[in-house]
Amino acid sequence: MSDLRSNVEGLLAAGNHRAARAALAAAVLTKPSTATCHVVADKLTQIDPVEAGLTPVKVAYLTNYTVDPLLPLLAARALPSGLTVTTYAPGFDLWMQELVEPSSGLRQFNPEVVIVDLLPEQVAQDLTTRFLALGREGVEQAVNAAVSVIENGIGALRQWSKARLLVSALPRPLGPSLGIIDAIPSGQKAAFASINERLRDLCQSAGGHLVDTDRLVAEVGWSGWRDYRMWSIARMPYGNAAMHRLADEHVRYLRALMGRGRKVLVLDLDDTLWGGVLGERGEHAIDLGGTHPGSGFVDFQHAIAELRRRGVILALNSSNDVDEVLGVMRRHEAMVLRPDDFSAMRVNWQDKAENMVALADELNLGLDSFVFIDNSDTECARLRDALPEVLTCQLTGDPSGYGPWLRQSGLFDSLGYSDEDRQRGEMYRDEVKREQHRQSIGSLDEFLESLQMELTAEHVGDATVARAADLTQRTNQFNMTTERRTADEIRGWREARDRVALVFSLKDRFGAQGIIAFAAMQITGGRAVITDLLVSCRVLKRHVEDAILAVLTEHAAARGAEQIVACVRPTRRNAPFIDFYPSRGFSASDDAAPAFDPTLQLFTRRGRIPRPKHIAIQATEAPLHS
């Protein structure tokens, strides 16, 4: 630990914040002990987020217990995901007071994410400690009372904050009053289930998420979940294991909420997808099949295949002979994953870090959306050092544990599940075909012509609102304002007369690419303000963004708006596209109306922008044609 501290101090003294980040993240990944987390959380405060490529996020905990020991665990565990967390917690049980008081520390902190984690014995004391004294009506009242406490808190928060919200479900009691018959409809289990059902509805209408506490308790086990000793000494309710697991669960949400979700799973082959070295043993002697240890690798492949169906893009990065590998993948009867499951592969004798960069290029995705899984100490250490943006995970121990580990890892958690997720792997494979096609054709113009692209613009509807929100969460590069929107927020715009919210889908001769862009405008008094414009990175450089801009200007014109105002919020990750509007005839606007967020840059131009050639545009609504 002393080594870690002095190593990081040395790197910081030399101004190498990126390497300091890499060293701290590697320490967390290698051994995320409480002591490591304390050192990492401390040193993290000295790292410049911009230099180190970290996304800052302000998180407030609203609890009715002493939350201090959890805070460094959260900060440290968030680092490998590219997040640098600043936390705030009101004094003991002052959360409601700080929500309401205008000058409270909480309100000055102005959190981006609020986590409400209340203990059942506090918020539902009667249901926990004197359940059998309540009677049917008493139980109902106690359920209502518990829900109202949280409902009032959320109501108070929403008076002044648009922060993203996580609310912990209340876990069912460990020792229910009715013992072995508690599962009957009038037991405590049912009472807590009914609280949690209502909390879920509450979260949905407040644009928040319900954290499934019972699942976490089941993973850790009740005996490790609560520490009654520390509760009685210091109002610290959780055991060590519980705090680590809670912090990890919260990090999974933070990643998804802050656009730091991982999208690509890159895999090694030998001793990762099968046991043994293919080049030495040959196709028939690798460990893969119905018996140990091969069965562990089969199970691991099943877990990977399920991630692919969840929307994760699979790729290979392995030192092997590519023909030999393809042979195994096509012919081996125990292989679950087949060549078509991978959207890209680098199977060769090149350096794996170089391969990784090439994969990112080919898939047109940032390295910070990559996870790499390998079994080798040296390869993992090399990757963590060379490419800290990639989350490198090392497989250790018996192969039978690989599948269970991956399923519980939450590495790829995201906040939605849509048709696009199911088809993503295929879409990216088409993408690679498109790229090969491009290389076979001389001029860009000819290539674009040959794609036969068709862009469809539609108002956001019930079927597409989830995907629209998902795009705002996931898109970091071509995203002009990086506003993360919830489905409910976007749904609300459909009622507003001055709002236009559109989703765009694209198809071409290689296949449908689904909904690839989202844009929103606010049109008032002859002026259209483009508040949101984001395009999935896999369709960029084909003038799709120009077609979208053309549609937006047509739409504005149809509503009588001649002046177009475009908003840009520069971030580290949208930097390559920051000149989009100026290069399309927009000029910087001095119309800095105070209503606009000061972090936004404004650009303006007048009139319609012509549609680009090569893209046929279908618009479902009359105004779009005018």
Partner 1 sequence: MSTADRVKSVVAAVLKVPEQSLTPQSSPDEIQAWDSMRHLQIILGLEEEFGVQFAADEIDGLQTINALCAWLDEHRG
Binding region for partner 1 (CB under 8 A): 1-2, 5, 33-36, 38-39, 42, 66, 68-69, 229-230, 232-234, 236, 240
CB of 185 to partner 1, least distance (A): 38
| CB closer to partner 1, 69 vs 293 | 69
| CB closer to partner 1, 3 vs 590 | 3
What residue ranges in 542-595 does DSSP mark as E strands?
563-568, 587-588
Distance CA 603, CA 470 (A): 26
Q: Which residue has the tokens 């650009």?
A: 603
Angle between helices 419-440 and 294-310 (to 10 degrees): 90
| CB closer to partner 1, 87 vs 392 | 87
| CB closer to partner 1, 2 vs 439 | 2
Contact present, 562 and 606 (Cβ < 8 Å)? yes
CB of 28 to partner 1, least distance (A): 13
CB of 235 to partner 1, least distance (A): 10
CB of 42 to partner 1, least distance (A): 5
| CB closer to partner 1, 89 vs 316 | 89
Q: Residue type at 181?
A: I
Residue 16: DSSP 8-state: -
| CB closer to partner 1, 42 vs 321 | 42
366: buried, middle or exposed (CB in 10 Å: 19+, 13-18, 0-12)? middle
Q: Which residue has the tokens 């870690």?
A: 4
CB of 66 to partner 1, least distance (A): 7
CB of 90 to partner 1, least distance (A): 15
Contact present, 93 and 64 (Cβ < 8 Å)? yes
| CB closer to partner 1, 3 vs 462 | 3
CB of 63 to partner 1, least distance (A): 15
Distance CA 77, CA 73 (A): 6
Angle between helices 17-30 and 2-13 (to 10 degrees): 160
Parallel, antiparallel, or unpaired for β 499-508 and 511-524?
A: antiparallel
| CB closer to partner 1, 34 vs 148 | 34
Question: How many CB atoms within 10 Å of residue 68?
Answer: 13
CB of 228 to partner 1, least distance (A): 9
Q: Which of 390, 394, 396, 312 is CA-nearest to residue 353? A: 390
CB of 222 to partner 1, least distance (A): 16
Q: Residue type at 100?
A: V
What is the residue-wise DSSP string for 236-262?
A: --B-HHHHHHHHHHHHHHHHHHTT---
Contact present, 347 and 320 (Cβ < 8 Å)? yes
Structure tokens at 582: 């100026």
| CB closer to partner 1, 233 vs 616 | 233
Residue 559: DSSP 8-state: T
